[in-house]
Amino acid sequence: MSTPPIVETVPSTAPQLTEKETTETAPPKDEPKAEPESPKVTEPEPTEKPAPFDIDHWIAYAMSCAENKGLVLSDTAVECWDNPIRAGAHCIYLERDIQSRLDRYARDEDITDVWIWAEATGNDRYDIYIGYA
């Protein structure tokens, strides 16, 4: 008869958990794992809306500049115009653009009369036309 082999066991240095401890700390096998919460989105504080763009101010400004440059305001000068000048609260060079256009017309000996009007393009934006004759 042969003798069974001798197996030596080495004591483990890891702490031994009882059955109760292993079942309490292990996640349940059938339940889905909880997903982490998404960060909360906060709504910005309501702010005052900016005042609507005052196109009438800019039309009056352009008419005043035209007269100061020696141009005559005439509502009959609507047959010819160059590209319109875009206008709205987003335009930071509107004063410069109006003056530049009127300077060019004032230097042209063939142009004596101008008329200035605007057409709404939507979203509180406009095209300013400077007609000339």
Q: Is there a domain that residue 128 lies in?
A: no
pLDDT of residue 19: 58
Q: Is there a domain that residue 76 lies in?
A: yes
pLDDT of residue 16: 61
State how far the Cα of 76 lies from the Cα of 112, in Å rounded to an integer: 12
Residues of the domain holding 57: 51-111
Q: Is there a domain that residue 125 lies in?
A: no
pLDDT of residue 52: 86
Q: Is there a domain that residue 102 lies in?
A: yes
Q: Looking at the 3D structure of the chain, how many domains does it have?
A: 1
State how far the Cα of 130 lies from the Cα of 30, in Å rounded to an integer: 77
pLDDT of residue 15: 58
Contact indicator for 77, 117 with CB cutoff of 8 Å = no
Q: Both tokens of residue 67? A: 């007269």
In angstroms, the Cα distances linking 81 to 43, 92, 115, 130, 131 are: 47, 23, 9, 6, 4
* pTM (whole model) above 0.75: no
Query: Which residues of the chain are under the pLDDT cut of 70?
Result: 1-39, 41, 44, 46
Closest to 130 in 3D by CA, of 91, 103, 92? 103
Q: Is there a domain that residue 106 lies in?
A: yes
pLDDT of residue 27: 57
State how far the Cα of 53 lies from the Cα of 87, in Å rounded to an integer: 9
pLDDT of residue 51: 79
Q: Is there a domain that residue 66 lies in?
A: yes
pLDDT of residue 49: 73
State how far the Cα of 105 lies from the Cα of 115, in Å rounded to an integer: 12
Q: Is there a domain that residue 6 lies in?
A: no
- Residues near 48 by beta carbon (within 8 Å), at least 6 away in sequence: none
